[in-house]
Amino acid sequence: VEDEVKSSLINFLAKLSNNKGKSGLLLGWNSSSDPCKDHWKAVTCDTRNNFVRKLFLNSSNLVGELDIGLLCNVERIAESLTVLHLESNDISGVLSPDVASCKQLTRLHLNGNRLNGTLPTSLAMLNNLKILDVSNNKLYGTLPDLSRISGLTVFLAQNNEISGEIPRFDFSNLKQFNVSNNNINGVVPDVRGYFTASSFLGNPGLCGDPLPNKCPSSLQAESVAGESKDSSKDQIFMFVGYLTLALVFVVIIIVVLCKRRRKKKVVDALPQKEEAIEDGQDERMYKSSTIESMGYKAGFSKSETSFVSADNSALVSSSLVVLTSPEVNGLKFEDLLKAPAEMLGRGKNGSVYKVILDNRKTLVVKRIKNWPISSHEFKQRMQRLDQVKHPNVLPPLAFYSSKQEKLLVYEYQQNGSLFELLHGTHMPKTFDWPSRLGVAASIVEAMAFMHQELQDDGIAHGNLKSSNIFLNRNMEPCISKYGLIPVITRSSSPKAFKDDVFGFGMILLELLTGNLVQHNGVDLQDWVHSVLREEWTAEVFDKSLMSECASEERLVSLLQVAIKCVNPSPEARPTMNQVVVMINKIKEEEERSAIGPYSL
């Protein structure tokens, strides 16, 4: 490490410790040794190039003054320093605008000191910043506008003397936000339900949702007026945007109209009500309707429907085939048709409805249009799937098949999907590390079982993702929609099974990071790789896992399994059986550590 870097680090620490050069206080840093090669205390370096990466000077009894320029004005430091921990000391002084030169900073922890002055607006130039914690200081002045920092996930500034209004933030990106107990005034911006009142309380001049005190209408109007003034430039962009959208919309309508005209000529079977719903002409019909009223008479009449067992179903082509699950014993098509139905979702290949039967049993009917699979093959597949039952796989309960559409009936899962559990706004506090590991183990066990049973039939899951994993009434994972993919030719079949392994790897990454598969246009696996390349492994993990002190060793082991599963080359990915072995090993280690060494 160059002399300039060394002397700047020493001077920075000396100033923080009030120039009291006591050796203990200075952590033994001295100019005759090397911060990286001699492993200075509290310093982490990049082993490849000996650049200083992280400084851990938190809780170090530092009572001096902060001079961030001593670090950030040295190019070699500014270009490599990613993490700076100074929290829980007694440091005074101000954070100078020089901080902006430390461009690589991802975490800046200054909380729990006596810092005063205003946060510099130049903080907005720290494009890589993810965590900024300045809480519990004596900061005043207004908050800088950090909305340009797209990756900021934590902003904490509570318990200061900050005034002015809350500037713009991208609340959808933030995982933690707190400005409580300051002197902030004005209207709370639209936090879209991401944060509760506790993030804003203790600011007498602040009002509006989610705070209990409503804003006086004059203030509300002022804020709207203010916003509109600020956003005059935005409005021009928005106008251009809307114009483009309108044009696209017109083009789409023309294309849809042309298509519909062509379709009408070929198949004239769908009744008009159905078309209206599918084209979104009458949204009100979705709710409190029945499947029948939604046009499920399409292509067949009620009188044609009949209850038939799986065994002789192939003889009756236009009937609901009820499979062997006892839950739907005696289900008739009429029962489905007359039951109240609610649309849960609609994709490009069909829609999903929640149906409540007379006996209060709640089902889900998935309707798939134009699935390129012959009715014969579809029936064979459903009946094969019916033979292969696993407690963590949601079996199809019944199905209907015609040339244009297929219907599939599943049991409704009221606890929602794994996707909602991980990324929804109502995430319970209890989705801790042991539960996540348990969920991963159950999914992979079930998938390995299904693969083993169905490999010869060439039936893979085909779309394994967290939104297709539901939580049953015991909060155990249940894999849904197994095998709902186009027919796989024998030659492509091994790849489909390895694609399931990829899907499972992505679920592991979601469980470990708490992030979405796609975020701001970046694929989760690419993001994870980029963080690992930089040797910032701990930064990958979900903050809530870190804060509950989950074993980093086992988090890393599971991460390694995930990385193997998402290998770009399908052949290099492990089989589901191999993944089971790897995950069970981690689970056993976890269980051993929970029992503890003395209880044996």
- Peptide bond connecting 210 to the previous residue in cis, omega within 30 degrees of 0: yes
Regarding 410 and contact with ligand ATP (CB under 6 A), the answer is yes
Q: Which is nearer to ligand ATP, 156 or 352 (CB)?
A: 352
SS (H, E, C) 496-535: HHHHHHHHHHHHHHHHHHCCCCEECCEEHHHHHHHHHHCC
Percentages helix, strand, coil for the chain, rounded to the nearest 5?
A: 40, 15, 45
Q: Min. distance of Cβ 28 from ligand ATP in angstroms?
A: 56
* Angle (deg, nearest 10), helices 433-454 and 493-513: 170
User: Which residues share a beta bridge with 54?
Assistant: 44, 83
Helices (H) and strands (E) in the chain, counts: 16, 21
For residues 155 and 470, which CB has a smaller minimum distance to ligand ATP in the complex?
470
Residue of closest CB approach to ligand ATP: 345
Which is closer to ligand ATP, CB of 140 or CB of 412? 412
Burial of 308 (0-12, 13-18, 19+ CB in 10 A): middle
Identify the residue among 347, 391, 424, 434 touching ligand ATP (CB under 6 A): 347
Q: Given the rule CB under 6 A, which of 202-210, 407-415, 490-498, 564-572 is the region that contacts ligand ATP?
A: 407-415
Sign for the CA dihedral angle at 282, 286, 287, 288 comes to: positive
> Would you say 175 is a known binding-site residue?
no
The secondary structure element, H or E, covering residue 410 is: strand 405-411
Answer whether 355's CB lies under 8 Å from 364's CB: yes
Could you say which residues in the range 435-474 bind ligand ATP, by CB under 6 A?
463, 467-468, 470
- In terms of CB distance, is 126 or 507 closer to ligand ATP? 507
Q: Smallest distance, Å, CB 597 to ligand ATP?
A: 43
**Interface mask (CB under 6 A) for ligand ATP, residues 292-331, using x and -?**
----------------------------------------
Structure tokens at 521: 């246009």
Do residues 12 and 70 make contact, with C-beta atoms less than 8 angstroms apart?
Answer: yes
The CB-of-414 to ligand ATP minimum distance in angstroms stands at 7
Assess 408 for contact with ligand ATP (CB under 6 A). Answer: no
- The tokens 């001079």 sit on which residue? 67
Contact between 413 and ligand ATP (CB under 6 A)?
yes
86 versus 291: smaller Cβ distance to ligand ATP: 291
Listed in sequence order, the residues at least 6 apart from 331 whose beta carbon sits closer than 8 Å to its beta carbon are: 307, 320, 322, 357, 397, 398, 409
Q: Please, which of residues 36-65 interact with ligand ATP by CB under 6 A?
A: none
Among 345, 391, 434, 486, binds ligand ATP (CB under 6 A): 345
Q: Kindly state the smallest distance separating residue 565's Cβ from ligand ATP, in Å.
A: 19
226/426 Cα distance (integer angstroms): 33
By CB under 6 A, tell whether 364 contacts ligand ATP. yes
Q: Residue 87 or residue 500: which is nearer to ligand ATP going by CB?
A: 500
| Selected range binding ligand ATP among 162-170, 341-349, 446-454, 522-530, rule: CB under 6 A | 341-349
C-beta closer to ligand ATP: residue 91 or 352: 352
Nearest to 184 by CA among 150, 161, 211: 161
Q: Which two tokens stand for residue 401?
A: 């098949």
Q: Does 415 bind ligand ATP (CB under 6 A)?
A: no
The smaller minimum CB distance to ligand ATP, of residues 342 and 553, is found at 342
Specify binding-site residues.
Answer: 366
Residues within the interface to ligand ATP (CB under 6 A): 344-345, 347, 352, 364, 410, 412-413, 417, 463, 467-468, 470, 480
Specify binding-site residues for ATP.
Answer: 366
